[in-house]
Structure 1
Amino acid sequence: MKEYYEKIMLHYLQNPGEHQLYAGQQLSKSLIEKDIPPEDILGLHISIMKESGHVLSEEWERSFQFLMEIMVSFGMAYQERQSLRLKKKQLESEINVAISMQKKLYPPTFDDEFHDLDVGFISTPAREMSGDFYYYTNHSKNKLGILVADIVGKGIPAALCMSMIKYAMDTLENDVKPANMILDYLNRLVLKNADPSLFVTMFYTIYDPLTSVLTYSSAGHEPALYYHARSKKYADLNTRGLILGVDANVKYEEKAISLESDDFVVLYTDGVTERKGSEAPDDNSILREALSTADLSLPAQDIVNHMYQYVIREKDYQLDDDHTIVMIRKK
């Protein structure tokens, strides 16, 4: 490297021109690729000047010494910056893999096997990765399980916890456990395997098409919003139960309702109902407002989209948290 540097530099001193300067630019790229620190380049430059017979005045000698001290600090900062850029690039690559993995965890469509239900859903992350999760699975005797969860803690650990819950739900296909026992099972799973800093709220429902009965259980999650079409009245559905991942001995309560034609239940996460800057307690009133402006004769997915658009308009399109809404309607 020294010989090549010396050849280019001395050639320029003897025949200064654009071609020689371009060769110097190309050399600088090679030096960067080889991670040569700037103080070494400066030292090389000075030594070549002296060895080739160019005498530096005392003033120039001192100026180069001063510049050398600057280059040492500059070089250290530059190397640290390069290291941080490399780490950032690696982290971005890992996050992209996690985002791709997370997207595959969500069900792409609703299972049309349950012909008497119309289901719509939307889930939007506030940032690149979401802490919200929704899923459905078949239980024994053709019952349908639908859950909405909020993982308290974001990023890759939340995605891993979400993956664990998803595959746990897959193992419960054709299982006969009631909703509260499924929460008990998932609670022990989160306690045993998830990061201790992660906690999970969840609302779990099981629908039986033979009886039109919807059973439900909650692990510290927001109450579901129930609409009784015949009376045109709303009610909150909630049960007692601590969030998942805190206490192995917690007991989860289960309740049930019978769905009639056009009745629906809306599951959601707390990001939906939080009103920025409001001193009023968080509740699902914003969803009731959205539904009061919706055409309830539309398909469930259209109504869910309407609710979401209403919510984000009310928040001036500033999403500080993940937003998930799932609507289950009896046809």
Structure 2
Amino acid sequence: MESRESLEFREKYREIVLTYLKQQDEGVLYNCEKLTREAMEKQISPEEIVNLHRAILEEYDTELPEYISSSFDVLLEMMVGYGLAYMEHLSLRTEQQALRREIAQAEDMQKMMMKSDLPKVTGLEVGAVSVPMRQMSGDYYNFMQEGDDKISVTLADVIGKGIPAAFSMSMLKYASDNYSGSAKTPSEMLQNLNAVAETNIDDNMFITMFYGLYDTSNHLFEFASAGHEVGLYFDAKTRSFTDLYARGLPLGIDPNATYRGFEKAVAKDDMIFIMSDGVTETRTADGFIEREDLIAVFEERIDLPPQKLVKEVYDHLCKMQEYELRDDFTLICLKRV
């Protein structure tokens, strides 16, 4: 026995067909769009509609030519296959919508977990911009108070994309928070995090990281790198840039890896730039941006406050790529004032 909804649909479809056959009014056809959505909601299959259409025509013309009636057998067979494929499509679409909702929830959770407020410290101005290429980022940055006079800055990048990279970064974030607070040297911090990464992430995934400690009492910056992008240092007195050189294996490759620490005395108005490869590997029509061209972008904006500076650098590099990020983009600026 047919359901009430099915009977209502049959009657509406019958009315549209018979009205159109009598009046040939295209205005009647506009009702088909609404009725199509109704058929989808009520899960009425294409082959049901074909059978219904044939029955209506045979009712309309009792002397309907045999070849017309028989042609519906071909259409019906086509619609059976189409209907099965369409139902599969609906099922996949439903699953995709559910997955998108879950990813959106995971994205919100990641933003909440990874949120890092810019530190407000006497004698130091900080700017930061971080934009994911996809919904979830494989970049992670953080600032932490380390004892009375030191601020730590962390920037890490998972070599990988999407949800696996985001989960790996969340794991590293909690490990980093656990080790912070005791003013460990950058070498010690990377050593500890390397042990965590080597044990807990997949063999085909590893993490680059830059970790620094800024001492606000004497303006000494200590830092170390685990295979991360080389930073930049701006000397305000000479108005020149130099590489903030530091090397080391990425986290998660070798459990016995060691990390060398470096230090830099920061003079008034000097700046430190730390970045992910989404900055250094900006792609132009001629390939990756050259180091000197990247420095020129910084030079043009060097007199801006740090937060405005990093935002304008991001806008410029994004425009160079026709507003299509090819990687997660994170840029941090520290300026002694």
Q: Normalised by the size of structure 2, how large is the TM-score?
A: 0.81
Deviations, residues 274-315 of structure 1 (Å, cap 9, x unaligned): 2424467x664234212322353x422222233334433444
> Which of 110, 129, 137 does residue 122 from structure 1 map onto?
129
Q: 1:138 is aligned with what amino acid? A: Q
> CA 1:329–1:13 in structure 2 vs 1: closer, same or farther (change >3 Å)?
closer
User: Contact 2:154 / 2:212 at 8 angstroms: preserved in 1?
Assistant: yes
2:103 pairs with 83, 95, 116, which one? 95
Determine if the alignment matches structure 1 residue 251 to structure 2 residue 258. yes
Q: Does 1:158 align with 2:197?
A: no
Specify the code of the residue in structure 1 equivalent to 2:255: A
Q: How does 1:23-38 map to 2 (within 5 A)?
A: 31-38=39-46
How far is 1:78 from its partner? 1.4
Shift of 1:268: 0.7
Deviates more, 1:65-74 or 1:102-111: 102-111
1:83 CA drift (Å): 2.0
Show the 5 A alignment for 1:122-271: 122-271=129-278
2:327 aligned residue (310, 321, 330): 321
**One-letter amino acid of the structure 1 residue matched with residue 119 of structure 2:** D
Deviations 1:69-100 (A, max 9, x none): 11112212211221232122122212222322
1:62 CA drift (Å): 1.8
Q: Pick closer, same or farther for the CA change 1:147–1:69 going to 2, 3 Å.
A: same
Q: What is the aligned counterpart of 2:86 among 55, 78, 89? A: 78
Q: Tell me, yes or no, if structure 1 residue 276 matches structure 2 residue 280.
A: no
Give identity over the alignment, percent. Answer: 35
What SS does the aligned partner of 1:104 have? helix
Q: How many Å apart are 1:330 and its aligned residue? A: 1.6
Measured after TM superposition, the shift of residue 175 of structure 1 is 2.3
RMSD: 3.4
1:175-215 alpha-carbon deviations (Å, 9 max, x no partner): 24211221122222223333444322111101122332211
Residues 1:277 and 1:187: Cα distance change in structure 2 (over 3 Å): farther
Corresponding residue for residue 110 of structure 1: 118
2:114, 2:170 within 8 Å by CA — same for their partners in 1? no
Q: Is the 8 A contact 2:116 2:141 kept in 1?
A: no
**Residue ranges of structure 1 left out of the alignment (5+ in a row):** none
1:330 maps to which residue?
336
* Aligned length in residues: 327
- Structure 2 unaligned blocks of 5 or more: none
**Residues 131 and 151 in structure 1, CA contact (< 8 A), matched pair in contact too:** yes
